Amino acid sequence: MSKDAYIHKMLPGSPGSPLLIVFHGTGADENQLLGFGRDLVPSATIVSPRGDVSEHGAARFFRRTGEGVYDMNDLARATSKMAGFVKAHVETAKPSAVFGLGYSNGANILASVVFEEPTLFDASALMHPLIPFEPQVQGSLAGRHILLTAGRRDPICPPNLTSRLEAYLRADGADVTVEWHDGGHEVRPNEIEAARQLFALAPAEGGKNNG
């Protein structure tokens, strides 16, 4: 486990505050969600890794062979590496809670880490995730707060797959909220407000629970 496994940026927070890890979308970088994270959780320490895979020059967190067709071996590699990166930052920060926020490809790697390490994040906001496979959760998501946001006309993330992911997460015990809008793959104000509420309420209801 290394805090420097990924190129990343960090915004220090208040002592004992939550740790918020933010994961950018395809083609963006570690700067994309830093300010967004600070706005959502003003006191948090925010860590933003840059994806270590290049798709024709666009940074991603794992490889794919086509739209919605994932290289599952590389996803497994990336998931293990990212889980170690997050754990290293948790050990250093000793936060009151651990939050995750991901958009698009960033939501996909965050979701995959949640499946692999279900006790790592207290609350996770998955904005426009696309999970085209059946998750194998390594444990229980009981007590974990998860927000899914989606567009009913999203050409990248079909609504039926969002609903299927919701069902998987609920079946594994997660406290799931879904926030829809009538547009596409863009993030809209109601999603931002839903994420703000998720992170505001999660620590009061549970707090850090993975030692």
For residues 25 and 60, what is the distance between their CA atoms, to the nearest angstrom? 7
For residues 122 and 96, what is the distance between their CA atoms, to the nearest angstrom? 10
Give yes or no: 154 in active site: yes
Q: Which of 17, 48, 104, 124 is catalytic?
A: 104
Give yes or no: 185 in active site: yes
Q: Which of 80, 96, 163, 185 is catalytic?
A: 185
Q: Which of 89, 128, 145, 154 is catalytic?
A: 154
For residues 159 and 184, what is the distance between their CA atoms, to the nearest angstrom? 10
Give yes or no: 14 in active site: no
Radius of gyration of the chain (CA): 15
Q: In terms of Cα–Cα distance, which of 117, 24, 113, 131 is closest to 77? A: 113
Neighbours of 79 (CB within 10 A): 21
For residues 188 and 170, what is the distance between their CA atoms, to the nearest angstrom? 24
First to last CA, the chain: 16
3-state SS, residue 124: strand
Which residues form the catalytic set? 104, 154, 185
